[in-house]
Structure 1
């Protein structure tokens, strides 16, 4: 499970990552990334922990499928949160193919999207 300190919970944080960040799309998910964001509740202080949030709509499947996809994505992100820069915001949006994707496919798509965003790969 992703530690509480590394979770996005506020709507403003999701909006910041999606609207002001960069994104990388893969067949089963889209990753939005905002580097070095600051916490609006602590003026002048940057957030030390990278944080991640997940968006899984009804297009992915029923409630059981959506919750399963969220659990799998949280587990995958827990293993990758250490490679994110401090204060960064990441939003992982699952696409409909994520409902039937294997763990290896989700991991491959997440790794490719993060590498593209962190390494500045070609668009």
Structure 2
């Protein structure tokens, strides 16, 4: 599970990542990344933590399916959070196809999106 200190919780943080960050889409998800954003809510920290948030709408499926997708995405981000620059804000938005995708497909799409955002992936 993604540690609590690495989770986005405030509406303003989600808005900052989505509006001011870069975006890459794949078949099951869209990833928004705001690199090196400073955290106004944590004064005194020298290197703010990278934080991730997840958006899974009702278009993905019923509550059980949405929660399953959120759990899978949190688990996948836990292993990848250290690859991102310190202080980054990441929002992973699940598309309707995410409800039918298996864990491996979500992992491939997340890896491809992050690689592209970090400058290492091809279109």
Specify the TM-score bucket, using the shorter chain as the normaliser. Answer: over 0.9
- 1:55-85 deviation digits (Å, cap 9, x = unpaired): 0000000000000000000000001001011
Gaps of 5+ in 2: none
Deviation at 1:2, TM superposition (A): 0.1
d(CA) in 1 for partners of 2:74 and 2:100? 17
Q: 1:48 is matched with which residue? A: 48
Aligned to 1:59: 59
CA offset at residue 10 of structure 1?
0.4
Q: Secondary structure at the match of 1:116?
A: helix
Q: Determine whether 1:82 maps to 2:82.
A: yes
Q: Are 1:38 and 1:46, in contact at CA under 8 Å, matched by a contact in 2?
A: no
Supply the distance in 2 between the matched residues of 1:96 and 1:90 (Cα, whole angstroms): 19
- Unpaired runs of at least 5, structure 1: none
CA shift in 2, pair 1:2/1:43, >3 Å: closer
TM-score (norm 1): 0.93
With the length of structure 2 as denominator, give the TM-score of the two structures. Answer: 0.93
Are 2:76 and 1:97 aligned?
no
Distance 1:121 1:73, change over 3 A: same
Note the C-alpha offset of 1:48.
Answer: 1.7
